[in-house]
Every structure is written in C-alpha cells, then in structure tokens.
Structure 1
Amino acid sequence: MAYSTATLAEGCFGKVYKEKYNDTWAAVKKVPQQLISRKDLERECEVYKRAEHPNIVKLLDKVTLRDRKWVIPLEFIFGEDLETTIFHSFKSKIQLTPSNKATIIIGMCEGLFYLHNKDIVHQDLKPDNIMVEHGTNRAVIIDMGLAKFFRYGLNSAIDRGNEAYSAPEVLQMGTQRSHRSDVWAMGKIIAELCARVRLPTPSVCPAKIKETLKDQPYCKAVCRMVEPDPSLRASMAAVISDIRRAGGAGIVANTPIQRELFKPSLTNITDRNRSPSPMNRGANLLNRDQLAQNRSPSPLNINKSEPLQNWERTPRLQIVNRTPQVGPSISAPGRIAEDKTKNQALIPAGKAEISSEFMKMKLHQQAAKDLPCNLPTTGRVMVRRFEEINGECDRWEQTEVVTRNGKIVKYEDVKVDTK
C-alpha cells in the first residue's frame, strides 16, 4: 500500500486519508483501537455490507488492525462534500442548475430510502456527510460510523448525531433517533440546497419551508418531511415518488446496464406472446409507496457479475386502419389469400373485423391501466418496477406510453429476468 499525506477528514473517532489501496484510490479510515469496541466495529462493517447502493459509500475490503489502529478502506469519491456545494460556492466546482440540483437531491434520497429499507438509521445526516461526484453529480452518503440497525424500536447502537440537523423530538424530548429523524434531517438538507441558505434548526417547520421554497417543486415533499410531530411525518417510502417527480425523474440516469436492455429483439415476438404489463402483477401502483420497501429502489442493484440470461422486448403496437368490405373483392386470388392471413389476428370469434376506433380504445385502455396518473393529452408516462430476492434484483420491468394531441404514438413494455 502506497501512503500519501493527504488527510480528508478528522473526527472524534479517527482520521480519513486518501491513499492508494490495491491499485485504486481509497478513502482509508483509521480509528485508534481504544476508541471503538469490536462490537461497534462489526456493526459498522455489517451496515456497509447490507447497504450496497450507488448512492451509499462502499466498503472496499476487510477491516484490518495495523499499528494499533483499525484500517477501514472505503470508496473514494472524486468530488466535494455538499457543505462546499451549498455554502462555499467560490470553492465549489458544481453549478447548481435545476438539472444538477435534481440529480443531487434524488440521489441522496434514493440512498436514504435504501438504508431505511434495510432497517438502517444513519443518525448523522448533514451536508458534510454527503459527497457529490464531479462530472456526474452523483450524491453519495458517507460516514456510516454512527449508523445503527433500528427495528420495532430496538437499537443496535447508542444515539449520537449532529444537533444542527436533529429533529425536534430528539432535541426537545430526548427521543431516540429513528428513521423519522433521518427524514427530518434530509428535509432540512434539501431545503438548504434549494434556497442556498443555512436554516436555524428551531425554525424549520412546514410554514418556514413554504416561506423559503415558495413555489419550488420540492416544497410540498419537504413540508411533509419536516413535520414537527414524528407520528405525522412522512417516511422516505411515502415521499420518494414526489421527490422523483419534482426532479422530473421518474427515470434513473442512463447507465450501461440500461442501454443494454434496449438492444433489438432477436426473435419475432407477436402481440399474443408479449410479456405481461408491469401493472398486471396484482398490485395497484397507486399504493406504490407501501410497496416500495419490498422492491429494489434502483436498477443499478442488478448483479453486474452475472449476465442477463433471459430478456425480451415486446413489439410496439400499431393501429392499422382497415375498412370493411361490402361486396366481394375484385383483387387477384393470391392477394385475397394474403390479406386474409394478415387480418386473422384482428378477427374475433364473430368473424367481424375490428374497427380502427375500437382498436384505439382498447390500446388506450391497456396503456392507461393502473398507471399512477391519467394519460396526458401530450406527454410521456413511464413506470418501472423491480423485484428483489435475497438482496439481488430478480426482475426489472418498464412500461412507457407517449401521447401526442390525445393519441398514443408510442407504447412499449420491457421485461428483464436476471435468472
């Protein structure tokens, strides 16, 4: 291991250095042996092991003991902390355009949403503990040293955290930190990022957020996140859809994995053997917030070491205008046979040809079935669903509908099975 003198951060438990580790740069955390118990160290490692997500810092290797210090090799983020991005613009290399802001907000919310799905409470969310990668603006939640497992009111560690981003129930009543206090801290961070002002902790409430953010798209979601009463405060599962929608992100950023899904089909797939729509799997997408904890929040969790062995893409439905024949056709016999073959898929049991208007109605009903919103006159609606089995993405499905002037101009249904 080649050591450098670069110190990235220093806290009450140790220091973090930028060092070469196994031919790559790493943020190496070094904690004196006497400052952390083996139980706390094992808990921190277990948190990293369970929280494998693009918006959460990764543990690169096993923790070792060297020179009476625990050495924890972590992913190095080539970027800056959110504290610099928000409050030190003269040092920041990131321009907070609406697009960049949306990428950052959605990224850190996806990371926290994933942590909570794994029953993990971060406890110490603040701009200093969120890194933003230069070039991609990927937000990464770091410093899991105080993170704990929290389920049914049971803690795996003591309560600790930064008072400036502590929820009212923690500051005023000494209540233990939980998923709800994490949500409050994230709401305050989003508000400060949007307004680029530091909000005094006692003043943060829905009224203050409305006054600060006004008509910004994240205002409604943040108001629900900073509700003073924790029993009325929204969970990440309840607001994640609003956050994605506010950022115009019903879609995750394009990645090599996603582009691979859109290769041309290798087989002839007809409308009859088209994969079933994601909306027909026994769950209403209007209740997607309740279902969010049972599925992976991002397709980036597909195991990249295993190739996609089975995938299919359904063809685009096309509306064909055909006029019923009143009398016998005067076309050649060969042409009559050809037209009859082409029309077989459109002829019902009564042998009466389906009209163009009926086809449009059926297509509109199928495309709009169980969507989280009505189809717009002109616009685009995309729905994605994920299935997670044993911590890995087992199935990924996507439905896309594009309308123009009240007509459906595009309808696609894609299914990926990683088995």
Structure 2
Amino acid sequence: MDGEEAPPGALNLADYAPAGARTVDCFRRIRKIGEGTYGEVFEAMDIITGERAALKKIKLDDGKEGFPRQILREIKLLKKLDHENIIRLKEIVVSPGTAHGAGGSDDYMYRGDIYMVFEYMDHDLKKVLHHSTPSQVKYYMEQLLKGLHYCHVNNVLHRDIKGANLLISGGGKLLKLADFGLARPFTRDGSFTNHVITLWYRPPELLLGATNYAEAVDIWSVGCIFAEFLLRKPLFPGRTEV
C-alpha cells in the first residue's frame, strides 16, 4: 500500500548511488526553502563546481530504522524519467556515517543522513499563477502537458499536480514537474489508494472512493491549474471532501 515504510533495516545505497558517494559536506547550505512530510529542502551551493542545487534531507525513523517507501519510489522514478520538463535528480549524497557490507564495493549498507540533490529552480508556479499573461499561460501549460505526457507514456502517475509542485526557472521560461513523492507506476487493472492529490485539485472519482484509476486523475488536476490561470483564483477551494 502507498505510504508504507520499507522493511526494517538501513537503505542499501548500492541501488541508488555508487559506493563512495559524495558527502553533504561538498555543499554549502544557503537557506531553507521548504519542508514536507519526508524532509527539509535547502538551497545550497556545490563547493566544487559552484553550481546551485536543492538539497532534500530525508527524515528517517530512528526507532524503526526504516526508509520511507514513498521516497524509495520517488528515487527510482526520477532515475527512470528523463525529460526537459521534469525535475532532475542529480545525485544522492550522505552525511559522514558508517557502512556495513560483505566486502564488495557494490554490496554495502549505509547508516546516516541521506540527501537527494536536485537541480535548483528559482521559484514555484504559485508565485505567478494569478498574474500571468495569456502568452505565459499558453507557454506554461504546453510545458506542463509535455512533461505529464512523458510520465504517462512511461506508465507513471504524478498524483499531486498543483502550483507548489510546478517549478519555474530560466528567467520564467522553463517549467518542470517536481515532487514525485506521491507518484507511482500504474497498470490499467491496478488498485491504488485514493488518498492522493491535494484537495483543491483532486478529481471527483477519488473523492467518491475510487481505487482503480489512471491518467485522468492527473488531467483533472491540470484542468484545475488552467482554470486557476484564467480565473486568477482556485477553481475548487474546498476545505472538506464533501
């Protein structure tokens, strides 16, 4: 089920980063720019290259020693997806910690803080959602649909499209889908949780309890974004599901 944690034990970084992965000490934190269910996000600078990046520190449950399954899924999906309108996961870095394994360079278990390193984007769509020109709306919607189409043809549902998860950079010219924490692979006969998608952008079938769904749930959210562009306010700003 969605939201479960991985079985007890440390994350095997061999699946996501090479042995000898860089440490977080290679980055200088500039400021905190966000916080979510599974971690804090910082603007940072790569000390070696001078490039800006976004560092997402993963919250681990010390009691269970478990790694959130949603984060594992997000890492796997972002390693798979490669498109100009999808945020790029550059690498996984770690804090100085301890490694345990059978001796091989590709067979070890790491215990310590883990960070996802993303390309840095200037701001999210919320900052321009209610005051964009018609030409900007057209340009942003085109990029959103291109990125989402790429996800769907690769059998991936995003399941949390909203202004805060659409990032803007390049002088306001480039839009990228971000935050794949609720994303997952899908099949036509699959059954999934309906406790996804922020309420204002959640389609009726999920509100009515559907568990068999596909691309249409994301398309509904895109429609809500488009309407919000035009109306300059949320289309369905509800507080409850009913």
Question: Are positions 1:72 and 2:116 aligned together?
Answer: yes
Structure 2 residue identity aligned to 1:70: I
Query: Out of 124, 127, 131, which is 1:81 matched to?
Result: 124
Task: Decide which of 36, 59, 71 is 1:32's aligned counterpart.
Answer: 59
SS in 1 for 2:117: strand
Contact 2:192–2:212 (8 Å) recurs in 1: no
Shift of 1:152: 2.6
Return the offset for 1:98: 2.5
Q: Structure 2 matches for 1:8-407, cutoff 5 A?
A: 8-21=33-46, 22-23=48-49, 24-34=51-61, 37=67, 39-62=69-92, 64=94, 68-77=112-121, 79-87=122-130, 89=131, 96-154=132-190, 159-175=195-211, 178-200=214-236
SS at match of 1:3: strand
Query: How many Å separate the matches in 2 of 1:162 and 1:146?
Result: 11
Q: Is the 8 A contact 1:159 1:176 kept in 2?
A: no
Q: In the TM superposition, what is the alpha-carbon distance from 1:72 to its structure 2 partner?
A: 0.4
Deviation of 1:71 (Å): 0.5
TM-score between the two structures when normalised by the length of structure 2: 0.71
The whole-number CA distance in structure 2 between the counterparts of 1:200 and 1:54 is 30
In the superposition, the TM-score normalised over structure 1's length comes to: 0.43
Contact 1:58–1:75 (Cα < 8 Å) also in 2 = yes
The answer to whether the 8 A contact 1:10-1:16 is kept is: yes
Q: Deviations over 1:338-371 (max 9, x none)?
A: xxxxxxxxxxxxxxxxxxxxxxxxxxxxxxxxxx
Equivalent position SS for 2:181: coil
CA–CA distance in structure 2, aligned partners of residues 46 and 138 of structure 1: 24
- Residues 149 and 155, structure 1, Cα contact 8 Å, conserved in 2: no
Identity of aligned residues (%): 25
1:191 offset after TM fit, Å?
A: 1.2
Q: 1:98 to 1:40 in 2, by over 3 A?
A: closer
Which of 1 and 2 has higher RCO (CA within 8 Å, sep 6+)?
A: 2
| Paired residue type of 1:58 | R
Distance apart, 1:32 and its partner CA: 1.4
Deviations 1:24-52, CA, capped at 9 Å, x for gaps: 11111111122963644332112102211
From the CA coordinates, give the structure whose radius of gyration is larger: 1
Q: Residue 155 and residue 51 in structure 1: after superposition, are their counterparts in 2 closer, same or farther (change >3 A)?
A: farther
* Cα RMSD after superposing both structures: 2.5
Deviation at 1:186, TM superposition (A): 0.7
What 5-or-longer segments of structure 1 have no aligned partner? 90-95, 203-419
2-side partners of 1:155 and 1:64: how far apart?
Answer: 35
For 2:39, give the aligned amino acid.
Answer: G
Query: Structure 1 residues 12 and 42 mapped into 2: Cα distance closer, same or farther (>3 Å)?
Result: closer
1:15 shift after superposition: 0.9
Which has a greater percent of helix? 1
The count of aligned residue pairs is: 194
Deviation at 1:196, TM superposition (A): 1.4
Question: How far is 1:158 from its partner?
Answer: 8.1
* Residue identity matched to 1:32: K
Q: Secondary structure at the match of 1:113?
A: helix
Separation (CA, whole Å) in 2 of partners of 1:156 and 1:16? 28
Q: Offset at 1:101?
A: 1.8
**Distance in structure 2 (CA, Å) of the matches to 1:172 and 1:29:** 34
Bigger shift: residues 133-142 or 8-17: 133-142
**Counterpart contact for 2:224–2:234, Cα < 8 Å:** no
Aligned-partner Cα distance in 2 for 1:155–1:71: 31
Maintained 8 Å contact 2:201/2:236:
no
1:352 paired residue number: none
Q: 1-side partners of 2:175 and 2:93: how far apart?
A: 25
Q: Give deviations 1:202-253, integer Å, cap 9, x for gaps.
A: 7xxxxxxxxxxxxxxxxxxxxxxxxxxxxxxxxxxxxxxxxxxxxxxxxxxx
CA deviation string 1:246-292 (max 9, x = no partner): xxxxxxxxxxxxxxxxxxxxxxxxxxxxxxxxxxxxxxxxxxxxxxx
CA apart distance, 1:198: 1.5
Give the CA deviation at 1:155: 6.0
Partners of 1:28 and 1:121 in 2: CA distance? 24
Whether the 8 Å CA contact 2:157–2:184 is kept in 1: the answer is yes
Question: Judging changes above 3 Å, is the alpha-carbon distance between structure 1 residues 16 and 156 closer, same or farther for their aligned structure 2 residues?
Answer: farther
User: 1:139, 1:17 → 2: CA distance?
Assistant: 20
Cα distance in 2 between the residues matched to 1:122 and 1:179: 9
Gaps of 5+ in 2: 1-25, 98-111
- Mapped to 1, the partners of 2:55 and 2:214 lie a distance apart of 28
Q: Encode CA deviations 1:155-178: one digit per residue, 9 max, x unaligned.
A: 688853311111001012243553
